[in-house]
Structures are given as structure tokens and as C-alpha cells.
Amino acid sequence: MDNKLSQFGHSFQIKSIACLMTKPNFLEQIYDILDENYYETDAAKWLVNKCKLYYKNYKKQITFDVYKVEISEVESDVLKTAILETLKEIYNNLQANDLDFVQNKTLDFFKNQKLKNAIIKSVDILETNGEFAEIKTLIDDAMNAGIERNFGHEYLTQIEERYVENVRDVIGTPWDVINELMQGGLGSGELGVIVAPAGVGKTWILSAIGAGALKNNKSVVHYTLELNEAYVGLRYDSCFTGIANQNLKYHQEDVIKKLEPIEGDLTIKYFPTKTATINTLEAHLQKFKSFGKGVDLVILDYADIMRDIGYAKEVRHALGNIYEDLRGLAGQFEIPIWTASQANRSALDEDVIEAQKVAESYQKVMTADFVISLSRKIEDKVANTGRFHVIKNRFGPDGLTYPAKINTNIGGIDIYESNTPDGQEQQLKMNNRDRVIRKILSDKYKDLVE
């Protein structure tokens, strides 16, 4: 068996360093047995050594920014050039499709080296003093090398941790009534879904959630699979200024003034419909991590038009896979993810959209932590009204319906308790609308029968 990673080739070694920089669980597992001397080039050895030292001191993955500082202290120009070239290769491989394979193979290699060295040392011990207890300890340590160190929540000894006020690290929505239902908002590793028919305002709701997080100084990544990046940016401008989308070009100074005090960060990234997979989003988020940029919230508009990496034949199975992978992504990066889902066409005629109206796959509802629907008939669009209905809520009650004031010209969305003055006002508008429609239909019926 070859004692060097060179047996797998240069590209493999580059990708293994990329894994060390982007996969925290992998680095935690392999740290104790990771040895830079098994790498082929001096540049790779230097990079792995710095990665180990940084993790030892800070218990975090090293970033490109840290490497930039460390490289400035390298005295040899030849080594410095080689390190920079290797870093470029690593950057270009952050989105490689085989990183999971490389991770597993690298871990197996170092575990095997640890075991082989233990066996060789055991032979020497056996020939000198025959201490079997020492041999057993060596072999046991080697067999346990590279195992998962996080056992989970220790129920009897970690009682206080369950009662810490911020046990869920949440990011709230712009609506107090929804935050109260969710015990503060959507938490790390959780998935929230907005269900609505086409054209009623799903993108506006997602933008409003993103804008609310920005106001609270959070770092938001908004993925758009339909609208281009600049157009989504205009919707955020409307959310912050209250200026109609089509009139923003006449009020650029007002937009700049409104955005000046915001300390949060927003990145809008477009991927063409049905091209983005869960791996696409993972690779993009890994880039943020590799450059030391935090991400607090992900908005995805929207999951139904992603591409399934499982190649399921039926649409419902493909959508089920996508939503499960999406929630897994939220857990992997420990961030909340909001997305939207299409409702059936029949939902256009419903005052309240229930779970059975979710298009194609009920697995969406089963997977998500919080699901809320929006119903808006043509009359609601005219009256700027709508009904939000809580389909699922892991954090509290569901089955509740809330009247809302919705103006998609300016991105204005307000959700009210039914018993508040504002809620009663919106409900009255909807009731009057229904009475007017019934009267029109009744008059038409009378004309027909007379």
C-alpha cells in the first residue's frame, strides 16, 4: 500500500484540502490523525499545517482571508508563489461534484495509516518486552481514530441547556403575530414554506422576510430561480421605501437614503429555472464560509423549480426529495431557510388554502417546520386584502387564519389578529366584497329567469 496521498493524484489532494476548508464535521473527525507529511508538495503541506493549527487554536475552519495573512509571512518567494497557485486550484474545486467521495477516501486513508503504524509499533513492543496491554491500547486507539466525536444531547447532564432562553437561534419575520406563533421566528436548521397560487405575491412575501432580516442587521442570501437579480433588488427597494416598483427609477436618491442606515448584508443570486440543485446551493454557501462571510438567512424563490439530484421519475417524488434535501442543507449550515411552493389551480377559488391544496407532493408539508398559505382572489387584489392560514407549525398552534393588508405595488404586507381594529377592518373589506359579488350574481340570475 502506498504511504502517500500521491497515489490518488494531484487533483485529489487539492480537493481534500477543499474538504478541510468547507466541511466542518470532516475536519473535526480527521483532525487528530491528519498529517501534512502525507501530501505531495510543499505548498500542500504548508496549507494543511496552517489548517490544523488554526483549528487547534480556534476550533473553526480556516478561511481564505486567514491564509492571505499567513502567506504574507512566508519568506521564500518560490514557496509563496506555489501556495498561491495551490489556493487558486482549491478555490476552483469548491464546487466539485465528487467532494463527498474525496472526503470519505481521505478519511479512510488516514485511518488506515494510523492503524498500520500502530501494528508496526506493536510488533516492536512484542519483540522487546511483550507488553500486551500496551499493544491493546495502541490498537484500540487506532481503531477509534477518525470517528464522529459529537455524541448528541446528553439528557441527564445537560438539563440547563434545554432551558436556555435562546435554545433556538431564531430570525423573526416582519409580522409580530407570526413571530408569536413561531416562538420568535424561524430557527437555525429549520425550513419555512409559503404556499400560494401563481401570481398572488409569493416573491413579495419572501422579499419582505429578507428585508425584515436586513433591518435587524442580518446577512441574507436570496436565491432567485425566475426573476433576474436586479429585478429582485428593485422589489427589496420597494419594501424599504414604500415606492411603487415602476416608479423607483425616479426616486433613486430616496432609495439610497433609506438604505444608508442598514447594517445587514444582502446577496441576490440568480440560477436559471431547473438548473439549480441542492449541490449548487451548498457550493455557493461554502464559498461564503471559505471567505469568512457569515450567512444568517437563506431565501429561495422557489424550491418547486429546482432540479432533483435523485433523478426521481415522478414529480411528487422529485419534489419530496428536494424539500428533504433543502431542510438537510439548513441543518448542515445551521441557518433558517424560507422558500415558497405552488398551490393547486383550484386554490384560486378558495378563501382558505389548506394542506390538500399544496401542489404535487404532500411531502413538502411533512418536511417543513412551518407552512403558511396565502389566499387572494381577484377581488382581493383590487381591495389589497388577503388571508394567511397556518397549515403547519412545529412550534405552536396551527389551523389559524389571519386577515392581511397586501399591496404588491409597493411591497406592503401587514398581517393582523382577527380581533384587532386593523384585522377587523380588513375582514370587513373582505366581507363587503363577498356581499357585493353575491348581489351581482343574484341580479344576473334574476335577469336570466325573468
Mean pLDDT along residues 282-291: 86
- Band (356; pLDDT cuts 50, 70, 90): confident
Per the listing, cell 377559488 goes with: 349
Q: Are the folds of 5-143 and 170-440 the same?
A: no
Task: Check whether 441 has a pLDDT greater than 80.
Answer: no
Task: Check whether 161 has a pLDDT greater than 50.
Answer: yes
Separation of alpha carbons 33 and 38, rounded Å: 11
Per the listing, cell 444582502 goes with: 266
DSSP SS3 for 149: coil
Dihedral sign for Cα 21, 27, 28, 32, please: negative
Contacts of 244 (CB under 8 A, 6+ apart): 238, 409, 410
For residue range 19-73, list pLDDT tens digits in order.
Answer: 999 888 888 888 888 999 999 999 999 999 999 999 989 888 899 999 999 999 9
Mean pLDDT along residues 203-222: 94
Task: Check whether 102 has a pLDDT greater than 90.
Answer: yes
Separation of alpha carbons 87 and 81, rounded Å: 10
- Band (203; pLDDT cuts 50, 70, 90): very high
CATH topology for 5-143?
DNAb Helicase; Chain A (1.10.860)
- Band (130; pLDDT cuts 50, 70, 90): low
DSSP SS3 for 2: coil
Separation of alpha carbons 102 and 20, rounded Å: 11
Report the chain's mean pLDDT, rounded to a whole number: 86
Task: Check whether 1 has a pLDDT greater than 50.
Answer: no
Separation of alpha carbons 300 and 339, rounded Å: 5
Separation of alpha carbons 385 and 202, rounded Å: 14
- Band (413; pLDDT cuts 50, 70, 90): very high
Predicted local confidence at residue 115, as pLDDT: 84
Q: How far from the centroid of its chain's Cα atoms is residue 101's Cα?
A: 22
Predicted local confidence at residue 40, as pLDDT: 92
Dihedral sign for Cα 24, 30, 35, 40, please: negative
Architecture of domain 170-440: 3-Layer(aba) Sandwich (3.40)
Per the listing, cell 343574484 goes with: 442
Separation of alpha carbons 340 and 298, rounded Å: 12
Q: Which of 130-134, 162-166, 333-337, 352-356 has the lowest mean pLDDT?
A: 162-166
Percentage of the chain exceeding pLDDT 70: 88
Q: How far from the centroid of its chain's Cα atoms is residue 431's Cα?
A: 39
Task: Check whether 450 has a pLDDT greater than 60.
Answer: no
Q: Residue 194 half-sphere exposure, CB side, CA atoms within 13 Å?
A: 27
Q: Closest by alpha carbon to 211, among 201, 222, 200? A: 222
Task: Check whether 384 has a pLDDT greater than 90.
Answer: no
Per the CB < 8 A criterion, the answer to whether 308 and 318 are in contact is yes
What residue ranges do the domains of the chain occupy?
5-143, 170-440
Q: Residue 320 half-sphere exposure, CB side, CA atoms within 13 Å?
A: 11
Separation of alpha carbons 328 and 277, rounded Å: 13
Task: Check whether 137 has a pLDDT greater than 80.
Answer: no
Task: Check whether 237 has a pLDDT greater than 60.
Answer: yes
